[in-house]
Structure 1
């Protein structure tokens, strides 16, 4: 399951997939209805890939929590987000046994259950989807090591290529999407 393009928009129900970027916004697609619409840059957007949940000793990426829920529920839908607070807390204990009960609120658990069920209905929650995501997580590690090698290669040639490298990296930074890290709880 690739969460990198799945977003939540403040004030809009459901989950959306980023389709493309516009000059002053984005084209998004509802993951359930597949209906496309555009949003402006001023919309408060949260990438699911950047959301983590608190435990007592660390932060666990949302992807891992979804994987725990999927395995526990046999890759089927899970508890409704409209369940009682006690049922939701019990559900959370199964999904993430050491979650921080002081910093993860019932509202966060409701959102977790709702998002999981939306992703399940949209076809993102399958046994295969988690295997594919694990293999893609290894690919960026290779890319990082390649970038380190590239960074090390120009270092001896600091006299002339230094200026073009700085320009190239600044133009690459302009085109890179901005991302914020958000935690649930």
Structure 2
């Protein structure tokens, strides 16, 4: 299940797929109707890959919870998110038996099930464990990206300094 570019935007229904990042925000496409929207930097945007839910022992990533639903439902749709709260809580307890009832509300469960069903309808859920890249290779990629950015900034500063140092030729009239 690859949800690295899937966003939840506060105040907007459903999920969005990140299309482009801009200087002033980002462009996202709705997974409900396919419409593209621009989102400013001030909007509260969360990546699904960064969201977790409380359990009694730790915070469990949403991706693992969705994978557990996919396993239970054999990659099919989950229970409808507008069912009775008691049904939803009983269903969720089968998936995450140790979730913290004091900090995870019925509205949170509804949201997770709604998001799961959206992703399932788009064919984005999977029972498979994600292939984790070697931590060293990820670290090397990040270090390389930082080096490239630093070099680009140095070049830009050098060009700017050269432009400032060159005086313009004076012409006599």
Q: What's the secondary structure of 1:57's corresponding residue?
A: coil
1:146 offset after TM fit, Å? 3.4
Unpaired stretches in structure 2, ≥5 consecutive residues: 154-173
User: Structure 1 or 2: larger helix share?
Assistant: 1
Where does residue 39 of structure 2 map in the other structure? Answer: 39
The answer to whether the 8 Å contact 2:9/2:15 transfers is yes
Normalised by the length of structure 1, the TM-score is: 0.73
Paired residues for 1:3-18 under 5 Å = 3-18=3-18
CA separation in 1, counterparts of 2:141 and 2:11? 38
Higher RCO structure, 1 or 2 (CA under 8 Å, sep 6+)? 1
Give the alignment's TM-score, normalised by structure 2: 0.77
Q: Does 1:143 align with 2:137?
A: yes
Secondary structure of 2:133 counterpart? helix
CA gap 1:142/1:122 in 2 versus in 1, 3 angstroms? same
Q: Aligned pair in 2 of structure 1 residues 103, 140: CA closer, same or farther (>3 Å)?
A: farther
| CA distances 1:139-176 after superposition (whole Å, capped 9, x unpaired) | 2623345379x79xxxxxxxxxxxxx7x839x6xxxxx
Q: Which runs of 4+ in 1 moved over 3 A?
A: 144-148
Instruction: Output the CA distance in 1 between the equivalents of 2:34 and 2:96.
Output: 31
**CA apart distance, 1:62:** 0.4
Partner of 1:99: 99
Provide the aligned C-alpha RMSD in A.
2.3
Q: What runs of 5+ residues in structure 1 fail to find an aligned partner? A: 152-164, 172-185
The structure with the larger Rg is 2
Aligned position for 1:182? none
Count of aligned residue pairs for this structure pair: 149
Corresponding residue for residue 125 of structure 1? 125
